[in-house]
């Protein structure tokens, strides 16, 4: 089973709202990732967690706050977003975070009004 699940599937929020995206995998993977994808573009890496510790932050604005409560779960907390943050947010996981295959979830489509 190579399934990564994400909730919600769609999210609409105002610029003053606080919301969270959730990602879950049960493949025993120890690395998890958040990507942002704009229309007609490849995904852009935001954060990497390895063994539940943040290992890479690609200079993402602080209005995005990741959290890894355990090895199966990854959250992305959103606060005071801008309309330009509207995008597809993808979660992925891999065994150890080195050169292995990354498996992606279906994504959360976010619209910021």
For another protein, the binding residue among 16, 59, 62, 98 (CB under 8 A) is 98
Task: By CB under 8 A, tell whether 32 contacts another protein.
Answer: no
User: For 5, how many CA atoms within 13 A lie in the half-sphere containing its CB?
Assistant: 9
Pairing of strands 87-94, 31-37: antiparallel
Nearer to another protein, 73 or 80 (CB): 73
Contact 79, 65 (CB under 8 A): yes
Rule CB under 8 A: is residue 65 a binding residue for another protein? Answer: no
Q: Could you list the residues that contact another protein (CB under 8 A)?
A: 2, 6, 31, 40-43, 45, 48, 56, 88, 90, 92, 97-107
């Amino acid at each position: 089973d190579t399934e990564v699940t994400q909730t919600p599937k769609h999210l609409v929020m105002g610029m003053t709202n606080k919301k969270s995206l959730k990602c879950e995998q049960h493949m025993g993977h120890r690395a998890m990732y958040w990507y942002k994808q704009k229309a007609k573009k490849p995904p852009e890496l935001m954060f990497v967690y390895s063994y539940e510790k943040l290992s890479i932050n690609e200079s993402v604005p602080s209005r995005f706050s990741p959290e890894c409560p355990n090895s199966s779960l990854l959250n992305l907390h959103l606060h005071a977003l801008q309309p330009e943050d509207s995008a597809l947010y993808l979660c992925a996981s891999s065994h150890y975070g080195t050169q292995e295959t990354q498996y992606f979830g279906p994504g959360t489509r976010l619209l910021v009004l």
